[in-house]
Amino acid sequence: MRQHLDACRQKGQRIGLVPTMGALHAGHASLVRRSVAENDVTVVSVFLNPTQFNDKSDLERYPRTLEADCALLEQCGAQVVFAPSVEEVYPEPDMRVFSYPPTDSVMEGAFRPGHFNGVCQVVSKLFMFAEPDRAYFGEKDFQQIAVIRRMVEDLELPVEIVPCPVIREESGLAMSSRNTLLTPEERVLAANIYRILHESTMLHQSVGATHDYVVQAIDAIDGLQVQYYNIVDGKTLADVSSWDEADDIVGCITVFCGHTPIRLIDHIRYK
């Protein structure tokens, strides 16, 4: 891949990278299509990164669908699929530590210790392997983009981070590889998450009351349980207590759905 991309760079071609963990869906396809439109060469990495899973059972049940992924990537016009083995990416255990508090220590960082360290380990390696001009990430993982931006600033990497909007199913459920683990009944339940988040934007109440509305309405549905709901400054990810505290305010939620249970994340922009 390096040789191929070096030759592309020598011809003056711009390289777009779409990092993924596979089990691709329409959300990933939208990132790939955007990269194809904006760059000469699009590389998609398909790598289920073990270092970002603090819960090994989550890693074991993560869907693996490489053949179908390649077919979708070809349809979307990606030129290169990079699907390395764990040994290729980590010939030795990665001992590097990335720490960008509070961005990586709140919300997902607090509930999944080590998760963002693993994300930074793999994304920094992918950036070193592919040396992309641009890298595309879905806004569904809102906090992940903030952490990656901090890492890019910190390491002074010459890559433009391109955030892309969440793609939703017709029901409003944010597309996620984990949705395939939901039963049809759980999918119906899960659609309530975005419905309630969206309703909360129309309440026009205080931050505290809006927070409580979302948590109570979701917890009242049998089969859903909120792990956290934080209403934060969209840039620093610090909690806000009033609507005039920041220009960009986002509610970030994680909900357990069903019996397994499957952990789903989503967010809504208030301003």
Nearer to ligand PAF, 19 or 258 (CB): 19
Contact 164, 139 (CB under 8 A): yes
Nearer to ligand PAF, 20 or 79 (CB): 20
| Burial class of residue 54 in the structure, from the number of CB atoms within 10 Å of its CB (0-12 exposed, 13-18 middle, 19+ buried) | middle
> If phi over 0 gives left and psi between -120 and 50 gives alpha, with beta otherwise, what is residue 21?
alpha
Nearer to ligand PAF, 16 or 19 (CB): 19
CA 6 to chain centre: 28
Please work out, in degrees rounded to the nearest 5, the angle formed at the alpha carbon of residue 166 by the alpha carbons of 111 and 38: 120
In the block, residue with structure tokens 């906090």:
143
Nearer to ligand PAF, 138 or 234 (CB): 138
Nearer to ligand PAF, 62 or 270 (CB): 62
Helices and strands of the chain, counted as H and E runs: 10, 8
| Chain position whose Cβ is nearest to ligand PAF | 19
Question: Cα(253)–Cα(127) distance, rounded to whole angstroms?
Answer: 29
Q: How far is the CB of 219 from ligand PAF (least distance, A)?
A: 27
Alpha helices (H) in 170-234, listed in sequence order: 184-200, 207-219
Nearer to ligand PAF, 35 or 52 (CB): 52
Q: How far is the CB of 138 from ligand PAF (least distance, A)?
A: 7
Q: How far is the CB of 48 from ligand PAF (least distance, A)?
A: 8
Question: Cα(167)–Cα(28) distance, rounded to whole angstroms?
Answer: 9
Residues that bind ligand PAF (CB under 6 A): 19-21, 49, 52, 119, 122-123, 141, 144
Q: How far is the CB of 179 from ligand PAF (least distance, A)?
A: 14
Task: Count the helix, strand and coil residues of the chain and give each as a percent rounded to the nearest 5.
Answer: 45, 20, 35
Q: How far is the CB of 49 from ligand PAF (least distance, A)?
A: 4
Q: For residue 25, indicate whether it is catalytic.
A: no
- Which of the residues 4, 25, 28, 198 is marked catalytic? 28
Question: Cα(185)–Cα(137) distance, rounded to whole angstroms?
Answer: 29
Contact 17, 126 (CB under 8 A): yes
Q: How far is the CB of 157 from ligand PAF (least distance, A)?
A: 15
Question: Cα(170)–Cα(38) distance, rounded to whole angstroms?
Answer: 27
Which residue numbers are catalytic? 28
